[in-house]
Chain A
Amino acid sequence: MREPTDELLVRGCLRDDPRSQELLYRRHARRMYALCLRYARHELEAQDLLQEGFIRVFEKLGEFRMEGSLEGWIRRIMVNTAINHYRRKAFQQERFGLEHVPEMPVSGLAVESLGEAELLEMVAALPDGYRLVFNLHAIEGYDHGEIAAMLGCGESTSRSQLAKARRMLQQRIEESQRIHVSAGKTSH
């Protein structure tokens, strides 16, 4: 059977058709859950973000103009939900003593050996501010001006948080690489 288009689904949802609502959820939930996992500290928080995000999606669906991609529009709502979630908390600049770690290029071996789950874990392990800025800049593609406006902080703060996030991730990747290398040597 042919899958209904996004436009049909949106129209069905606007009519409060439960089947269309469920189809729309099922079509986009997997990708949006992965997005929420990147922004959340753990799975439960990601589930809360996903739930809150989809509630807002259904509430604001009437505002979707059918002009751009529905997935892009939902993704934007999810990101905003995550930002609002962390904005409610006291947003503090964490200091983890990483300033001394130099930025180094990442080796190809490390890239290949890491799976999605490990990368997600690394991102989730970042402090809230680092994680938020890193996700917004590195994956969503926002520049520092936009991030500063969204988070209500200065551009310099955004830049420094991103730099620290990168250093932290780089450190984690190197640790992971060492473990892989040592595991390889042990097996030989």
Chain B
Amino acid sequence: MSAQERHPIDELFRQRLERAEATPPPTVWAGVNAARAAHGGGRAWWFGRLLPGLLCLLAGTSGVLALRAWRVALSEEAAILRMADSLNDPMAAPAEWIHGWNTAAVSPVKADQVPDGATLGSVEKTKAGGVRSYHGPEGSDTERASNGPGAEGAMGPDEEVSEPLGIPASSKPTVATWPTPTLELAGPGSGGGVASLGRPSARGSSITPDQEGPPQGAIAWMAALRPSVDRSMTAGVPWSAPRPAPYVLPSKEWWIAAELALFDVGTRWRGDDGQLVEALEQSEARTSTIAPGIAFGLRWHNGFSLSLGLLQERSERSFHHVDRRMEVSHEIHHFMVTLNDQVIWSDVDTVTHTTWHERVAAGRGSQATLLLPAEAAWQKALGRTIIGVGAGLALELPIGQQGAMLDRSAGDGGLIAREVGTAEWRARQPAAMLGSASISLGRQINEHWSVHAGPRCMVALGAFGGSNEARSLNDRFGVRFGITHHFSPKRQP
């Protein structure tokens, strides 16, 4: 529609009012904020951001702990298998488990320990059971067919190397088979000063029972080699490894837990000032709080548990109230018709004026609270899953408050938003006794750690003191997450 087609009245108002501006009072922004908080702005924050984060954290922690537990289980299983294997394979077992084996006497040969005139060459094994090339001291190459694995009691070329070291063949262990080790001994004549110890030959006579040297290296060799040994060597070997003490089920255990509770807090108001109490009930929105804390307790074998906790909660409360007051005034009008000082008609009329006053009171206050729950619980373990129910009492102690609250105006007695001090806050939000109940679902990760989560409610039973005009009682409904460390019970031998 063009300007020419517009009605002049329309055009007049459009020109003057379309881009007009006016400054709204600051209470509007406070009201927008308060209403947004009341309609779940705060709740959406933790439901939208914090809750997934917490779940991820719990899942991550559980995963790490479960992985560690799995690794521990694997290593324990591997240790048991090794121990069982070592019964038939003393070469792979720790030295102290091998009965009658003097580990101090087991050592690799060193080049400087080679006596003068010893026939020393290098032995290179090309493949298991294949052809060995023997390089003699004079550089003469000799090829000999090795006996290969399974040739019991056979001697290879490296035996010839070891013989000059003065080790009688009878003092060596009877080696039936061996894998593919390599022993390179470089004597002074071949340009090397030190014997290089690669994968050693178990059959190589570098193991000299009477020589002194570091036994660990030899043990490491043996562990790496894991050759099969003649069963007759270990037959009847007594088991000398220390056996673990038998597990005795503990009668009770201590535990400590880190907890996080997410509460939806609603406030009930009590007091003598009915109008103020009603306004507080209607104007305050439910708030969402996050309460981190710790708990510790004692759990008996029958599943009964007693615990004490400490939670710190921080909450923000917003309110929005429209105070409506009606003002009634009366005016009396006298009407008289006079003629020559004589009243010929008179009338009295009463006019009643009714005026409604509306005042918006909006604001926000924050509060920090300590919660001290004492709870008795019963838990039932179904495999690694733990379910439990608990009930108890909790003490609610406000420790710090600031901001505005709805209060009576000193001037006209109406309701206004007013910044108040700590003493007035304490009078409105006194310490209180709460009744608590909870259900938990948990998972035992390993002997020491478990995680749990479940709903928890705390309902105010009564306040300690507080203002007679109006005092609050807070009810909490929410969920809690926790990770518990179970202290090791004493094991009896």
Residue B27 at the chain A interface, CB threshold 8 Å: yes
Q: Whose C-beta in chain B lies nearest to the C-beta of A163? A: B7
Interface flag for B246 (CB, 8 Å): no
Decide: A166 near B24, CB < 8 A? Known: A51-B31, A55-B32, A106-B12: no
Contact of B21 among A30, A38, A114, A143 (CB under 8 A): A30
Chain B window 267-305, contacts with chain A (Cβ cutoff 8 Å), 1 for yes, 0 for no = 000000000000000000000000000000000000000
Name the interface residues of A120-176: CB closer than 8 Å to any CB of B: 120, 123, 134, 137-139, 141, 143, 166, 169-170, 173
Closest to B357 in A: A44
Flag whether A111 is at the interface (Cβ < 8 A). yes
Asked whether A138 and B22 contact (CB < 8 A) given A25-B29, A44-B358, A51-B35, the answer is no
In the complex, chain B residues whose CB is within 8 Å of the CB of A119: 12-13, 16-17
Chain B residues with CB under 8 A of A83: none
A139 to B12, CA, bound (A): 10
Give chain A nearest CB distance to B2 CB in angstroms.
11
- In the complex, the chain A residue whose C-beta lies closest to that of B27 is A47
On whether the beta carbons of B7 and A30 are closer than 8 Å, the reply is no
Contact status B1-A38, CB under 8 Å: no
- A96-117: CB near B (< 8 Å → 1, else 0) gives 0000000001100001001010
Closest to B45 in A: A16
Is the CB of A58 closer than 8 A to any CB of chain B? Answer: yes
Complex CA–CA separation, A44 to B358 (angstroms) = 7
Alpha-carbon separation in the docked complex, A37 to B16 (Å):
14
Residues of B within 8 A of A139 (CB): 10, 13-14, 17-18
The answer to whether A16 touches B13 (Cβ under 8 A) is: no
The residue from A29, A55, A138, A141 contacting B13, defined by CB atoms under 8 A apart: A138
- Could you tell me the dominant secondary structure of chain B's interface residues? helix
Q: Which residue of A lies closest to B14 (CB)?
A: A139
Q: Are A51 and B21 in contact (CB under 8 A)?
A: no
| Residue contact A106 to B14, C-beta cutoff 8 Å | no
- Do A58 and B1 touch (CB < 8 A)? no
Give the size of the chain A interface in residues (CB under 8 angstroms): 36
* Minimum C-beta distance from A49 to chain B (A): 10
The CA-CA distance from A134 to B13 in the complex, in Å, is 10
Contact in complex: B1, A143 (CB < 8 Å): yes
Is B36 an interface residue, CB under 8 A from the partner? Answer: yes
What are the residues of chain A within 8 A of B41 when measuring CB–CB? 16
Q: Which of A34, A116, A166 is close to B10, meaning CB atoms less than 8 Å apart?
A: A166
- Which residues does chain B contribute within 8 Å of A178, judged by CB atoms? none
Q: Which residues of B contact A51 (CB under 8 A)?
A: 28, 31-32, 35
User: Chain A: which residue is nearest B48 at the CB level?
Assistant: A16
Task: Check A86 for interface membership: any CB of B closer than 8 A.
Answer: no
Q: A16-B45, A119-B13, A138-B10 are in contact. Are A54 and B32 (CB under 8 A)?
A: yes
Contacts of B25 in A (CB 8 A): 47
Bound Cα distance A173, B13 (Å): 11
Q: Give the CA-CA distance A22 to B29 in the complex, in Å.
A: 8
**Interface 1/0s, chain B 185-221, versus A by CB < 8 A?**
0000000000000000000000000000000000000
- Chain B positions 1-60 with a Cβ under 8 Å from a chain A Cβ: 1, 6-10, 12-14, 16-25, 27-29, 31-32, 35-36, 39, 41, 45
Q: Is the CB–CB distance between A138 and B45 below 8 Å?
A: no
The answer on a CB contact under 8 Å between A33 and B24 is yes
The distance in angstroms between the C-alpha atoms of A44 and B7, with both chains bound, is 31
Contact partners of A16 in chain B: CB under 8 A: 41, 45
A127 to chain B, nearest CB (A): 16
Assembled-state Cα–Cα distance A116/B24 (Å): 16
Bound: A22/B358 CA distance, A: 25
Are B17 and A29 touching (Cβ within 8 A)?
A: no
B contact residues around A141 at 8 Å (CB):
1
Residues of chain B with a CB closer than 8 A to A59's CB: 39
Complex contact A106–B8 (CB within 8 A): yes
B14 proximity list for chain A (CB < 8 A): 138-139
User: Any chain A CB within 8 A of the CB of B397?
Assistant: no
A30 touches B18 (CB 8 A): no
The CA-CA distance from A143 to B16 in the complex, in Å, is: 20
Q: Assess whether B389 is interfacial by the CB under 8 Å rule.
A: no
Nearest chain A residue, comparing its CB with the CB of B324: A44
Q: B22–A37 contact, CB under 8 A?
A: yes
Inter-subunit contact A58/B21 (CB<8 Å): no
- Taking the complex as formed, is B391 at the interface, i.e. its CB lies under 8 A from any CB of chain A? no
Take A51-B35, A55-B36 as given contacts and tell me if A34 and B7 are in contact as well, using a CB distance cutoff of 8 Å: no
Per-position 1/0 for A37-72, Cβ under 8 A of B: 110000010010011001100110000000000000
Cα–Cα distance between A30 and B28 once the two chains are bound (Å): 12
Cα-based distance from A2 to B355 in the complex (angstroms): 47
Complex-state Cα separation, A123 to B1, whole angstroms = 22
Give per-residue flags for B395-427: 1 if the beta carbon is below 8 A from chain A beta carbons, else 0. 000000000000000000000000000000000
- How far is it, in angstroms, between the C-alpha of A29 and the C-alpha of B18 when the chains are bound? 14
In the assembled complex, which residues on chain A have CB atoms less than 8 Å from the CB atom of B32?
25, 51, 54-55, 58
Q: Would you list 14 pairs from A and B whose C-beta atoms are within 8 A, ordered by A residue?
A: A25-B32, A29-B23, A47-B24, A47-B28, A51-B28, A54-B28, A54-B32, A106-B12, A138-B13, A139-B13, A139-B14, A169-B9, A169-B13, A173-B9
B interface vs A, CB < 8 Å? 1, 6-10, 12-14, 16-25, 27-29, 31-32, 35-36, 39, 41, 45, 358, 360
Which 8 A-B pairs rank lowest in CB-CB distance, beginning with the nearest? A138-B10, A30-B21, A34-B20, A33-B24, A34-B22, A51-B31, A33-B22, A166-B9
**5 additional contacts (CB under 8 A) given A34-B20, A169-B13:** A31-B19, A33-B24, A51-B32, A54-B32, A123-B17
